[in-house]
Structure 1
Amino acid sequence: MEVKNTNNIDKIREKTAPRTPKKAAMEGSSTPSVAQKSAQVDVGVSQALSNAKASRAQRLRDIEAAVRDGSYRPDPERIAEQILADAELAARLQNLS
């Protein structure tokens, strides 16, 4: 399954970009505030996303090379399981509406 249009996701990310806490609030407390923890989580999520993109790109290059040299053998059982999992997720999301 390929996502072709990510414009809406980018708009949401811009609106929900992590905000830096005020300097005075950071200096006044010895324990991390909720805003600081939230900023740390946002940084972690951003790093995870960039790592996932890099590993996905490498995996796609590996698959492309295997297809070109004829050594790629897709697993039909795994493909079927993924199709069913996607259909189940779509049905659950539709039931939430």
Structure 2
Amino acid sequence: MTDSPDPMTATEEFADDAEYGWWLNTHPDGFVLAVRTRSAPLLHRATCPEVDRDVHPGRLRAKGARQVCADTKSALRAWLARELPGDGKLVARCPKCGP
């Protein structure tokens, strides 16, 4: 679902694995914010295997887990400020893909 057509604020979330996989494959320069209930949000590149639902199905589909996709980091920061205002500045970066 697209929140806004502006690339600086547009984000998408996909419940369907096929749509999510399509987005990852067609946006190799994009970013994914992995949000879990017990951890700080973690920023990844779209090409990072850590956000591949085929590689980590249990972790990425756990209750409360969300993967928010965007073409820009600023769009994900805007999403955090809007959706999780208390966590907006606590974004960690994946040490494996270094976004």
**Rg (Cα) greater in structure:** 1
Return the structure number with greater helix share: 1
Return the structure number with greater strand share: 2
Q: Which has the higher contact order (CA 8 A, sep 6+)?
A: 2
| TM-score bin, normalised by smaller chain | under 0.3
TM-score relative to the length of structure 1: 0.18
TM-score relative to the length of structure 2: 0.18
